[in-house]
Structure 1
Amino acid sequence: MSTRALKDALVLGSGPGALSIAAALAIENLDVEILSEQSPEEPWPFTYGIWGEEVDELGLSHLLEHRWVNTISYFGEGDKDPNSKKNEITKHNRDYGLFDKNKLQAYWLEQCNNAEIEWHKGSAVNLETNQLISTVKTSNGKELNARVVIDATGYKPVFIKSPNQGPVAVQTCYGIVGEFSAPPVEKGQFVLMDYRCDHLNPEERKEAPTFLYAMDMGNGKFFLEETSLGLFPPVSLDELKRRLEKRLETRGLEIKSLDHEEHGSYLPMNMPIPYLTQPVLGFGGSAGMVHPASGYMVGSLLRRAPKVAKALSLAMKDPKASSASLAKKGWQTLWPSELRRKQAIYKFGLEKLMRFEENLLRGFFIEFFSLPNKQWYGFLTNTLSLKELISAMWKMFRKSPWTIKQGLMNMHGRELYLLFKALLVNNK
């Protein structure tokens, strides 16, 4: 065994999940170090959105790069005539923000640097847990010792083990930032979902539905992203690019200049919650923290990291606490039974939506966003209690037309299993 000083926690990874939990642990005055293949200062490639109220409650609105008051969606069929009722707007009456990802990264890095967290370059290749100590062997031949190891290496974690619950639905997207021959959205406008499909022929409409996520970035620049909410097998990036180009062509829009092409990400939407008794703790994507209903995670990282760090700090006051017991305490805090039940309900909803045809999916979202503002917002941010979540879902079911009720009641796959999970949650 190495003679290095024993750290309280070793965090694996350098993305949002890793930095958020490392910073939270540092605030608790724990002795932390980071192991990652890339420097924690390496720029992040993706964009991160969040609702205005959500970031305001966290006191972090200063980390936003853009904020929109005019937030809308389109769930009609669409028509080339802009005055057609098929282009009716759903107004969300809520602010939406886009993080300045460099500021968000710097926010967590500053907390880590103030605590003088040591960073090691390399990857973890082996983990040994021996009562009070966990030892990670690195690709560089080092041995790093800590009371608890936190694997925050993303959707393909190094050490985290999870049950096999079948295919994982994947959200895919293809986006561009640039100038166009005419504004693709109104000045100062954010479009959460544009499901209009008049640019597709009847055969294409039978295929997996996709929507446009779009925003005015100011100074004549716009961000447009064709997105598949979640599907297995996933919609390919080539198909998303083709659909976005066809959408623009139908609306008579040409790209004048292209500043950035975002080939998007393959975001697992319904990953299983890992085994909660394993002697290594997960956080972020590795811990299944992506919201199955929206694909969002940053708000959850910001809310849940301090709770997990506080629980670990209290547990570590016992010098005889084993690595396995510390990890278990972290898992219990990260995934209490209510959150696990809610996660199963969200996965049930995604399972249903993956099977909806284009017209049924548009109808579903019309009903969903006609719920009271607080209910649909709480659903998408995962801030409703279990009781409130069930109430919102029941209210929507009651007021929905029969076609949507039927779509929600028909069981074709894992729906019954997921409902069972919502009712009976275990700790494994």
Structure 2
Amino acid sequence: MLDFDALVIGSGPAGTIIAAALAERGLKVGGLTASPLRQVWPNTYGIWRDELDALGLTELLGHCWENCVSYFGKGEVNHGRAYGLFDKVKLQNHLLAKCETGGVEWHQGKATNIEHDRERSIVTTKAGEIFRARVVIEASGHDPLFVKRQDRGAVAFQTAYGIVGHFSVPPVEPQQFVHQDFRSEHLSASERATEPPTFLYAMDLGDDVYFVEETSLAMSPPVSFELLERRLHQRLAARGIKVTQVHEVERCIFPMTLPLPDLHQPVVAFGGAASMVHPASGYLLGAMLRRAPGLAAAIATALQDARAEPAAIANTAWQELWNPDRLRKYYLYRFGLEKLMRFDEVLLKQHLDTFFSLPQSQWSGFLADTLSTPELLAAMVRLFAIAPNSLRWGLMQFPGLESNLFWQFISLQAAKSPLAVTSKSLT
């Protein structure tokens, strides 16, 4: 039997980030991973460079583009902001090195059961190994084993189909990153009218290698990989571009609107397991890097009370992870995404043109979730003020879930306890 102050389940970005942060607090940290610890992570991770500048981690980028553009309804939008792609091997090694320096003790095994007594949480693996810890943090992704959520209806997913390879004609300009290309002239009128909008996400990786990916922002049910693959090849063919060599194919799907976890449970979550994906932009990694130190500090403080039970320690952690300001913003972001999912292609393009005409501090803070609630509201009010009348009318319609989400936000503004509203069901 192994005993720890904190046991982290999962060794992906979320697990290694929080394990390293906990170890930096001087805690005895154990890690439990179902896959080999140094198995290379399968996904690619992008981030705006200034987010890493603030963390002093720009050396972890494998690629970076100063020329970052999008295409909505009014032509090319130059974002005036550098975007980067992590070198995922370097990122993984960096985080595992921090874990090693902090003395994190990793074990391979699949957790199957958890129990709690007054002193410890006890995790049992499929092989029968037993781990005891004063607090357990599950960081195993969007479909965790132990973390419970409210059942709040259908979840919207972002899906993408992409190709890394060589092309007969460069799909983007040299040293360029295309954030969102919503141009749809390659589609028929019927396709534009009956199928959901999708966009191209593309970049020059150097040495005549490019990454092109057709992406659905968020839909429930999710847009199929088959439709995205067809859309991507239609887009390329309309520009006279052929794929000449495929290095890698990426099929990506992740939930954008997971309901919040039960904030009273004795297991803590982090990353996708904690519903930390930005509900409006899909970004996660930057938020995990920024928020892990605060969560680790809260857990370390709670552990100083030798009599604290796992549930009390977890409660402290949940209140740090989902404090009142973050809960309010969660519902505002969810409200915004519901709007976008209801917009047709014309309104969606109008919205994005308007959004990226906001001051960079507002749109960048919105995408990264670094604005306070008052700052977020100010950005939303400003967007409404400068929007064309057709978009304003669309923003004023509350045909479905939007009204409930907005009511959750209003209720949290007035609630004495930040946890009081989270148990209510969205119906």
Q: TM-score range by the shorter chain?
A: over 0.9
Listed as ranges, the gaps of 5+ residues in structure 1 are 77-85
Counterpart of 2:90 (choices 86, 92, 103) is 103
1: CA distance, partners of 2:157 / 2:188: 25
Equivalent-residue separation in structure 1 for 2:136 and 2:409 (angstroms): 29
After TM superposition, list the pairs within 5 Å mapping 1:407-422 onto structure 2. 407-422=394-409
Structure-2 residue corresponding to 1:267: 254
1:10 maps to 7
Cα distance between partner residues in 1 of 2:77 and 2:152: 36
Tell me if structure 1 keeps the 8 A contact 2:2–2:130: no
Q: Distance in 1 between matches of 2:110 and 2:6?
A: 16
Matched, 1:47 2:39: no
Cα distance in 1, alignment partners of residues 202 and 253 from structure 2:
19
Q: Secondary structure at the match of 1:14?
A: coil
Deviations 1:137-176 (A, max 9, x none): 1111111100001111111111111112211110000000
Q: Does 1:178 align with 2:175?
A: no
Which residue is 1:148 aligned to?
135
Instruction: For residue 40 of structure 1, report the CA deviation from its aligned partner.
Output: 2.3
Matched letter for residue 45 of structure 2: Y
Match of 2:236 in 1: 248
Tell me the number of residue pairs that the alignment of Structure 1 and Structure 2 aligns. 414
**Residues in 2 aligned to 1:154 and 1:354: alpha-carbon distance in whole angstroms:** 24
Tell me the alpha carbon deviations over residues 369-425 of structure 1, each in whole angstroms, 9 at most, x when there is no partner.
000111000000101111000000001011111111111111121111101111223
- For residue 220 of structure 2, what is the amino acid of its counterpart? F
How much has 1:116 moved relative to structure 2?
3.0
Give the equivalent residue in structure 2 for 1:235. 223
- C-alpha deviations, 1:68-93, integer Å up to 9, x for none? 111100013xxxxxxxxx6x210100
The residue that corresponds to 1:216 in the other structure is 204
CA-to-partner distance for each residue in 1:339-378, whole Å, 9 max, x for gaps? Answer: 0100100000101101111111111100000001110000
Could you state the TM-score of these two structures normalised by the residue count of structure 1?
A: 0.95
Whether contact under 8 Å (1:19, 1:40) holds in the other structure is no
CA distance in 1, matches of 2:332, 2:232: 32
Cα separation, 1, equivalents of 2:225 and 2:30:
37
Spell out, residue by residue over 1:201-227, the C-alpha distance to the aligned partner (whole angstroms, 9 max, x if none). 011102100000011111111110000
Separation of aligned partners in 2, 1:266 and 1:184? 23
Name which of 9, 20, 24 aligns with 2:21: 24
1:57 — aligned with what?
54
Measure the CA separation in 2 of the matches of 1:249 and 1:216: 18
- 1:115: Cα distance to partner? 2.6
Answer yes or no: is the 8 Å Cα contact 2:37–2:108 preserved in 1: no
1:72 aligns with 2:69: yes
Displacement of 1:105 in angstroms is 0.8
Alignment of 1:315-330 (within 5 A): 315-330=302-317
SS in 1 for 2:342: coil
1:233 counterpart letter in structure 2 = P
Tell me, in whole angstroms, the C-alpha distance in 2 between the residues paired with 1:140 and 1:415. Answer: 46
SS in 2 for 1:424: helix
Q: How does 1:121-140 map to 2 (within 5 A)?
A: 121-140=108-127
Output aligned runs, 1:319-358, within 5 Å. Answer: 319-358=306-345
Root mean square deviation of aligned Cα: 1.0
Following TM superposition, the consecutive aligned residue runs of length 4 or more in structure 1 with deviations greater than 4 angstroms are: none
1:295 aligns with 2:282: yes
Q: Which residue of 2 aligns with 1:82?
A: none
**What amino acid does structure 1 have at the position aligned with 2:66?**
V
Number of the residue aligned with 1:81:
none
Unaligned runs of 5+ residues in structure 2 are 413-417
Once residues 117 and 53 of structure 1 are traced to their aligned partners in structure 2, the CA distance between those partners, rounded to angstroms, is 30
Percentage of matched positions with identical amino acids:
49
Q: In the alignment, which residue of structure 2 is the partner of 1:362?
A: 349
Give yes or no for contact 2:64–2:85 (8 Å, CA) kept in 1: yes
Q: Whole-Å Cα distance in 1 between the matches of residues 122 and 2 of structure 2?
A: 12
Q: How far 1:5 moved relative to its partner? A: 4.8
Checking the alignment, whether the CA contact within 8 Å between 2:20 and 2:104 is kept in structure 1 is no
Q: Where does residue 187 of structure 2 map in the other structure?
A: 200
Could you state the TM-score of these two structures normalised by the residue count of structure 2?
0.95
